[in-house]
A and B are shown apart, each in its own frame.
Chain A
């Protein structure tokens, strides 16, 4: 981008919004910029986005930001209320709650990211392939998603984690296994809506193979509603991860995973309300931020919502 880096802000904007882009790259960036402009006009979505970015940055910078080690115990100073030394107080073993929240963000948000990275491509490919190929492949794939959808997510995850060893990895796998079917459903519905359109027929006439049509022409169109669904689903993934932690099936006690923190602190909810409250607030803020962003993304990305 050497030709643009020297430009001032206004001419960069003109370059992005040009009616007559001069290259593939300019046309692509222009489209992204228009989406970004639409998203920026929505203050709630921007609040969600900023919160998520701050949470992720805080989790990444936990070693720099955390005032104490998350595992350092000071039994003489246990269940201390919020103070200048411990902004969010200390827990039953005298560990600094702020430090634990920052480190725990890595685990909780990391679990969410891993689940999404595992699940979104699988759902997208399965859904698009089932929708486009149709026939037996469609019936088999959709019955499989039906089976997974018929189980309550948390119960299936619980059963799965109980069957293998409890821990972060098995929690991620369990959530991923139960999270992909809705994405496959959405991608399939999108695919069914466009598979008989003239532009797909034109691509067939161009001589494109079935794989190429699915990967290059159909998947990008299904991606928008999938991104929306994923960002709206993030909060439920966070809650499932936290619930597994709370039930002792996810991250194990010394680890500062937010759900596990709430679980181990629930005994003190009456006399030391801040101990379970702080991680609960973190779960709440992260879930809310993802929901706000998801709503905003839906307005921008989902063409059916647009006039």
Chain B
């Protein structure tokens, strides 16, 4: 695989949990500014791939490259400057005793950037949150607001890559659409590279032109969102997922 024009390259990634091989040799490459989707049922290994890519799991074999450079097992601070992640559950991804202000200041403090007093109001603006939420605690926010805070936190250090782990699946349907639109606006404005994991084909195909379908720890098919919508699937599991997805008609 030619890594020169690809921002992120994953080659033959294998991840074991004890004797179970959760990810069995996954490879894909994502160009700068692209959005790459990974779909699959629970247990297909899609989130495991994303967490390994984020550096949260250090037990893997294979290769991962960012901008042509091989990623070390233990990521350094500079990596987190370039790659950030939004988690599935906005109720679990914000520290319960820290205000929105603290949550947004943390990456700035940890990276030694500073300028929190101007960066935080701007970050809230970007995700369309009112300045009034700045000093609230997570329990005073709705699920959609929390996920916006999580997105603002991921973007506050201006990363190039955003890893999205089912960013909408814990939200109401109406809020899902808002968050998805926010994500696609942000991608356009900031030229972000997305890798998005979801079990929902409609959500993934809304944001990602190219989609990898995973089953049992393997990528069984790579398909364009267009072909998926048209039903031109080649692997039976993709057809199965498509049939199961009732909201596929038009997101």
Contact = CB atoms under 8 A, between A and B. Distances in A.
Interface of A: 19-24, 26-27, 31, 197-199, 201-209, 212, 217, 220-221, 303
A209 B99 CA distance: 20
B111 A206 contact: yes
Nearest to A204: B56
B87 interface: yes
A199 B54 contact: no
B111 A207 contact: yes
Nearest to B104: A206
Contacts of B87: 198, 201-202
A31 B135 contact: no
Contact of B110 (A199, A201, A206, A303): A206
Contact of B54 (A19, A21, A205): A205
Contact of A197 (B92, B102, B153): B92
B80 A20 contact: no
Interface string B121-158: 00000000000110111001000000000100110010
A198 B84 CA distance: 13
Interface in B29-63: 51, 54-56
Given A202-B87, A203-B95, A206-B153, A24 B80 contact: no
B164 interface: no
B210 interface: no
Nearest 3 Cβ contacts at the A-B interface: A21-B135, A198-B93, A206-B107
A203 B85 CA distance: 11
B89 A198 contact: yes
Contact of B135 (A24, A202, A220): A24
Nearest to A203: B106
Contacts, number: 83
Nearest to B101: A24
Contacts of A303: 96
30 contacts: A19-B136, A19-B140, A20-B132, A21-B99, A21-B135, A21-B136, A23-B135, A26-B135, A27-B99, A197-B92, A198-B89, A198-B93, A199-B93, A201-B51, A202-B85, A202-B150, A202-B153, A203-B106, A205-B54, A205-B80, A205-B84, A205-B85, A206-B80, A206-B107, A207-B107, A208-B109, A209-B110, A217-B98, A221-B95, A221-B96
B245 to A, nearest CB: 26
B132 to A, nearest CB: 4
A201 to B, nearest CB: 5
A304 B150 CA distance: 25
For B51, B92, B135, B153, which residue has the most chain A Cβ atoms within 10 angstroms? B135
Contact of A221 (B51, B89, B97, B109): B97
B197 to A, nearest CB: 14
Interface in B64-110: 77, 80-81, 84-85, 87-89, 92-99, 101-102, 106-107, 109-110
Contacts of A199: 92-96
Contacts of A202: 85, 87, 93-94, 150, 153
B51 to A, nearest CB: 8
Contacts of A212: 110
A201 B94 CA distance: 10
Given A198-B87, A207-B80, A220-B97, 4 more contacts: A27-B99, A198-B89, A201-B93, A206-B111
Nearest to A200: B95
Contacts of A203: 95, 106, 110
For A203, A206, A217, which residue has the most chain B Cβ atoms within 10 angstroms? A206
A208 B153 CA distance: 13
Contacts of B51: 201
Nearest to A25: B135
A306 to B, nearest CB: 11
A20 B100 CA distance: 11
A20 B136 contact: yes
A206 B87 CA distance: 13
B135 A208 contact: no
A31 B102 CA distance: 14
Contacts of A27: 99, 101, 135-137
A23 B81 CA distance: 27
A23 B102 CA distance: 11
